[in-house]
Amino acid sequence: MKITFLGTGTSQGIPVIGSNHPVCLSKNIKDKRLRVSVLIEWDNYSYVIDCGPDFRQQMLRANVSKIDGILFTHEHADHTAGLDDIRPFFFRQGDIPVFAHQRVMRSLERRFDYIFETENKYPGAPSVKKIVVENKPFQVGNLEIIPINGFHNKLQVFGFRFKDFAYLTDMKTVEEHEIEKLKGVEVLVVNALREEKHESHFNLKEALNFIKKVNPNKAYLTHISSLLGFHDDVEKSLPKNVFLAYDNLVVTV
């Protein structure tokens, strides 16, 4: 299984528009972060988790010509705003499968009504195939995916386990019985916003505690704010099995 980090930045991305923060001015390519998403490829399958406002650029950058579906973690714009740009995939492949919690699906239906329209649809609009995800295993390609339920402040969010790989973002609390579902993962991705506490995201310390509980071989941090610091400095401070993800990083599991 090949994992490509398409984006690793928090909701505004790095650099933040108009910001003079030193990390936003950094020349290091690892300090440039699009909005969070990953591409997961195995056998002949390719799926993305989330479809934020940088989706088009991410598909071009990673040279993706086919996607078999999109799994949504939650409805926030930094994870969903790029849905219109599935058009080239739709034109070639037909309806694109989207996997989401019922609440997230309703939000997408409201905000992208023309995509979900079934009567008098505008001919240039893309279409999707809706697959509602509940908190129980579901089939994606030839794999059984295990959803991990967590909370982003009070908002329910899904993480996803693909065999020995798990991806969690925008988490602030995860209940013990959900953490149990992550036991035995080789590679864990989890959000770490910054050092300071935040009401709806793990800060660095909380992410590291979470990683310790799950105890994967390797862990990568994502959904990173410029306030966390320069990539190379933060990376040096991490335990030896924990890394900062960066855009275009490829990991095989």
Which residues contact Zn ion by CB under 5 A?
A: 76, 78, 170
3-state secondary structure of 8: coil
| Whole-angstrom distance, CA of residue 36 vs CA of residue 47 | 14
The radius of gyration of the chain's CA atoms, rounded to the nearest angstrom, is 17
Q: How buried is residue 59: exposed, middle or buried, by Cβ count under 10 Å (0-12/13-18/19+)?
A: buried
Q: What share of the chain is helix, strand, coil (3-state, %, to 5)?
A: 25, 30, 45
Minimal distance in Å, beta carbon 108 to Zn ion?
Answer: 14
Choice between 170 and 247, CB closer to Zn ion: 170
Peptide bond into 22 cis (omega under 30): no
Which is nearer to Zn ion, 42 or 54 (by Cβ)?
54
Q: Which is nearer to Zn ion, 143 or 193 (CB)?
A: 193
In the complex, the smallest distance separating the C-beta of residue 72 from Zn ion, rounded to whole angstroms, is: 11
The CB-of-52 to Zn ion minimum distance in angstroms stands at 8
Nearer to Zn ion, 170 or 206 (CB): 170
Q: In angstroms, what is the minimal distance from the CB of 134 to Zn ion?
A: 20
Instruction: Compare residues 90 and 158 and give the one whose CB is closer to Zn ion.
Output: 158
We find the least distance from the C-beta atom of residue 105 to Zn ion, in angstroms, to be 16
Instruction: Give the residue among 88, 156, 93 at the shortest CA–CA distance from 124.
Output: 88
* 228, 203 Cβ separation under 8 angstroms: no
Residue nearest to Zn ion (CB): 76
